[in-house]
C-alpha cells in the first residue's frame, strides 16, 4: 500500500475541514428554510438572505483556495507553506461567516475574514508562481 505524502496529507486536512464547514453552512440555510417555510429564494426574510449569502460567499472563495492548496501539495511546496495557507484560509472563512451572520453591514469578523482569505489566496498564488519558476 502506497503512503500519501505529508504534503498531500496536509492539504487534505484543510480540504476536509472546509468540506465540513460548508456542510454546516448548508444545514443552517436548510433549517432556516424549513422553519420559515421558504422553499426557494429568501422570501424577503433578512435572516435567511444573510445565511444564503454566508454560504454563497464561502462557495465563491473556498474552491480556488483549495485548488491552490492541492497544487502546492502536488508540487511539493514546504509543509509550512501548506499549513500556513490552510490556516489562513480556514480562519478567514470562519471569521467571515461569523461576522456576516451577526451583521449585514461591515463588521470586524467580516473584514478580518476577507483580509485573511485574500492573504491566503495571494500567498498561494505567489508561492505557486515562485516554485514553478524556480524549478
How does pLDDT run across 60-108, given as a tens digit for each residue? 999 999 999 999 999 989 899 999 999 999 999 999 999 988 877 778 9
pLDDT for res 3: 66
The percent of the chain in helix, strand and coil, each rounded to the nearest 5, is 80, 0, 20
pLDDT digits (tens, 9 = 90+) for 46-61: 999 999 999 999 999 9
pLDDT for res 82: 95
**CATH code linked to domain 6-134:** 1.20.120.550
Window from 33-37, 100-104, 119-123 with minimum mean pLDDT: 100-104
CA distance 47 to 50: 5
Q: Average pLDDT for residues 4-21, to the nearest whole number?
A: 93
Query: At which residue does the C-alpha cell 505524502 appear?
Result: 5
* Residues 48 and 32: beta-carbon distance below 8 Å: yes
pTM: 0.90
Write down the domain spans for the chain. 6-134
Amino acid at each position: 500500500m502506497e503512503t500519501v505524502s505529508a504534503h498531500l496529507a496536509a492539504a487534505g486536512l484543510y480540504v476536509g475541514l472546509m468540506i465540513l464547514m460548508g456542510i454546516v453552512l448548508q444545514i443552517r440555510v436548510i433549517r432556516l428554510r424549513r422553519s420559515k417555510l421558504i422553499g426557494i429564494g429568501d422570501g424577503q426574510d433578512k435572516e435567511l438572505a444573510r445565511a444564503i449569502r454566508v454560504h454563497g460567499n464561502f462557495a465563491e472563495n473556498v474552491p480556488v483556495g483549495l485548488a491552490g492548496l492541492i497544487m502546492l501539495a502536488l508540487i511539493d511546496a514546504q509543509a509550512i507553506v501548506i499549513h500556513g495557507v490552510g490556516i489562513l484560509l480556514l480562519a478567514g472563512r470562519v471569521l467571515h461567516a461569523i461576522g456576516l451572520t451577526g451583521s449585514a453591514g461591515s463588521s470586524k469578523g467580516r473584514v478580518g475574514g476577507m483580509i485573511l482569505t485574500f492573504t491566503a489566496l495571494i500567498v498561494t498564488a505567489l508561492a505557486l508562481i515562485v516554485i514553478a519558476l524556480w524549478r
